[in-house]
Structure 1
């Protein structure tokens, strides 16, 4: 994790897991923003809505979340 955090660009951390082993839900999702440079009115409106809704987002790590190095 220290190496990933020190890297100046995005870093993918791939973790192999057993698909048959139960694990609780992560309660997280990928945030894929609306393009901010579109010339389409519908996309500009969607981006404005996205930007406004983003103000209500709260950063949250679930109970027991621990950063490991």
Structure 2
């Protein structure tokens, strides 16, 4: 996270695509791309140290349920 509350350096740490057969892998990779787009839109209150905003790293888990 940047000092202004925006997200930076977004990447997928763990993908379900790694566990699926080749036929279903493309759909799962599409969900990964969508998760990155969604997290890029997040806005947070920045972390502070002695009242000054500082950059920080965090993990965000995105779960999809398909019915």
> What is the TM-score when the length of structure 1 is the normalising length?
0.31
* Rg (Cα) greater in structure: 1
- Return the structure number with greater strand share: 2
- Return the structure number with greater helix share: 2
> What is the TM-score when the length of structure 2 is the normalising length?
0.31
